[in-house]
Amino acid sequence: MHRTEVAGEPLRDGPPELPEGALQADVQLPSAGTGPFFHRVYRARIRETPMGPEELVTRITADPDRVAPTEFASFAKVLGERGKMAVGDEYVVRMPGPWDGPVRVVERTASSFRFVTLEGHLEAGQIRFAARRNELLEFRIESWARAGDWLSNVLYHHLRMSKEVQLHMWTSVLERAAKLAGGRLTGGIEIRTRRVEDVDAR
């Protein structure tokens, strides 16, 4: 893994706007959270696969547990049609302990999908999963979030417990995405973090 963490900027690193018409009920935005704000990118490049980004994302959205480390975390769909993903669908990411995280789909394109966190989630923000292809197939997870409450902030930033849980989960997803694509990771996994202290500036 190649990890970097630098100071971020409120305007540059803030989350994307929610799409027009997105359901706002129970949404947990960063303004409802506490502690510093983090803009993170987890990126992996996959070689030796003929699969395109659209097919990879279609396979993942049909059943996110195909890439989730199910011995550690799994996606339980609680709203929406099984076997596909559409805007408005809801999931609960189930993990051992008090880590269950409800999310809602706010964007679905041919090669990406985006969640917003809901009330009760460990974090307050958004996360996007996207694939693209140049010479290699690239899969990336990009998040914009801060701790959902004071306890989450303590567990994440001071005790670092949930930070390691999150790191393990998303790097495992990238590894499993490469396997699902029938290819192999090349160049390791890149994890870039931009930390914003002055959250209110946005």
Q: What is the CATH number of the domain that holds 48?
A: 3.30.530.20
142 is in which domain, residue-wise?
2-201
pLDDT given for residue 155 in this prediction: 57
Q: How many domains are contained in the chain? A: 1
**What's the pLDDT tens digit per position in 126-172?**
999 999 998 999 999 999 999 866 556 555 554 455 566 677 888 99
| pTM (two decimals) | 0.90
C-alpha 185/C-alpha 188 separation (Å) is 6
Burial class (CB within 10 angstroms; exposed 0-12, middle 13-18, buried 19+) of 198: exposed
Give phi and psi for 30, each to the nearest 5. -55, -30
pLDDT given for residue 164 in this prediction: 67
**What's the pLDDT tens digit per position in 77-94?**
999 999 999 999 999 998
Of 199, 152, 163, 201, the C-alpha closest to 3 is: 163
Of 157, 180, 158, 161, the C-alpha closest to 169 is: 161
Query: Is the per-residue pLDDT at 33 higher than 90?
Result: no
